């Protein structure tokens, strides 16, 4: 729960998948790229959580993470400023120009998302695609340091990247389904409030993604560890959708089930 409350779960997930992608496709990766990704992801999630909690009315029902951010808002702002400064320093000192340009584009899209999601949140009433956008942006931000991939594995890299983006989107859709009652009480729009059928079937869709990932592994043996992790995370997400767990706890677990890359990374280190 603590990782979720302080927004550290998503940065850890991003770094784990970055290193697994790099190791799987033998793409050179600097430690600074991993640090920059961790700090940038943390910065975006800290900013989103701050704006989210500040936009709620005092008498609105709140999730545990929203309550936590609201209770420590002053410290949160200080932490946000410190992470932003450290992140800028790391990016300036370690990031290549081409990575900076592509990463800046992804960062710009993330900023557009924050504007669309909060000050102009009504746009999702006509275009309920917030969860798909989050999944796509998260996957793109995670892999930006690896682009372009080696010419010898473009198809395998593309398939794995698409499956990873689908996994991230399903993570968001599942959370939206679990928190649909809270979103309605707060007057927010999500794919679960607009298209509840999609959210109700997110567990089945995750199961299909898991089967597809393991089925693709024999065709792309060099990417088998990566596809296996995507499949394992998808199965765990499907299992989580089937369990009756308290909402805040299940939301925290939704990000932790994406940490399956830790297993092959530890195995490789040993």
Domain that holds residue 95: 2-269
CB atoms within 10 A of CB 30: 14
- C-alpha 198/C-alpha 25 separation (Å) is 33
Averaged pLDDT for residues 108-114: 60
Q: How far, in Å, are 48, 56, 97, 155, 206 from residue 136 at the CA level?
A: 16, 26, 23, 18, 16
Residue 112: is its pLDDT beyond 70?
Answer: no
Q: How many domains is the chain partitioned into structurally?
A: 1
Specify the pLDDT at position 79.
95
Residue 71 has pLDDT above 80, yes or no: yes
Cβ atoms of 211 and 217 within 8 Å: the answer is no
Using one digit for the tens of pLDDT, what is the confidence trace for 207-266? Answer: 999 999 999 988 888 888 899 999 999 999 999 999 888 999 999 999 999 999 998 878
Range 178-206 average pLDDT: 84
Q: Taking residues 44-65, report their average pLDDT.
A: 86
Distance between CA atoms of 198 and 175, rounded to whole angstroms?
12
Q: Is the pLDDT of residue 113 over 60?
A: no
Q: Has residue 107 got a pLDDT over 80?
A: no
> Dihedrals φ, ψ of 22, to 5°?
-60, -45
Higher model confidence: residue 111 or residue 211?
211
247: how many CB neighbours lie within 10 A of its CB?
15
**pLDDT score at 252:** 92
pTM of the predicted structure, to 2 decimals:
0.86
Could you tell me the two tokens for 114? 């924050």
> What average pLDDT is seen over the chain?
84
Confirm if 133 and 199 have CB atoms less than 8 A apart.
Answer: no
User: In Å, what is the CA distance from 250 to each residue of 9, 154, 176, 220, 223?
Assistant: 13, 36, 11, 33, 30
Joined tokens for residue 158 = 């593309």
Token pair for 199: 């959210």
In the DSSP assignment, the letter for residue 149 is: P
Q: What are the tens digits of pLDDT across the range 122-162?
A: 544 444 567 788 888 888 888 887 876 656 557 888 899 99
Tell me what pLDDT residue 54 has: 85
Question: Average pLDDT for residues 49-76, to the nearest whole number?
Answer: 88
């Amino acid at each position: 729960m603590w990782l979720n409350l302080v927004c550290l779960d998503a940065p850890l997930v991003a770094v784990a998948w970055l290193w697994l992608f790099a190791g799987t496709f033998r793409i050179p990766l600097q430690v600074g790229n991993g640090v920059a990704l961790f700090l940038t992801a943390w910065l975006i999630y800290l900013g989103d959580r701050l704006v989210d909690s500040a936009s709620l009315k005092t008498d609105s029902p709140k999730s545990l993470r929203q309550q936590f951010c609201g209770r420590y808002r002053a410290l949160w702002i200080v932490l946000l400023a410190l992470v932003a400064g450290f992140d800028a320093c790391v990016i300036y000192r370690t990031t290549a120009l081409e990575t900076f340009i592509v990463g800046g584009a992804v960062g710009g899209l993330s900023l557009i998302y924050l504007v669309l999601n909060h000050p102009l949140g009504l746009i999702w009433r006509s275009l309920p695609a917030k969860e798909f956008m989050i999944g796509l942006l998260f996957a793109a931000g995670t892999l930006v340091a690896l682009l372009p991939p080696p010419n010898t594995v473009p198809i395998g890299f593309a398939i794995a990247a698409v499956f990873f983006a689908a996994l991230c989107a399903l993570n968001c859709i599942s959370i939206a389904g679990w928190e649909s009652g809270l979103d309605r009480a707060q007057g927010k729009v999500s794919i679960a409030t607009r298209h509840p059928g999609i959210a109700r079937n997110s567990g089945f869709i995750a199961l299909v993604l898991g089967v597809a990932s393991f089925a693709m592994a024999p065709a792309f043996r060099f990417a088998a560890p990566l596809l296996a992790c995507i499949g394992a995370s998808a199965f765990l997400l499907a299992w989580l959708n089937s369990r009756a767990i308290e909402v805040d706890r299940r939301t925290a677990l939704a990000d932790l089930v994406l940490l399956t890359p830790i297993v092959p990374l530890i195995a490789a280190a040993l």
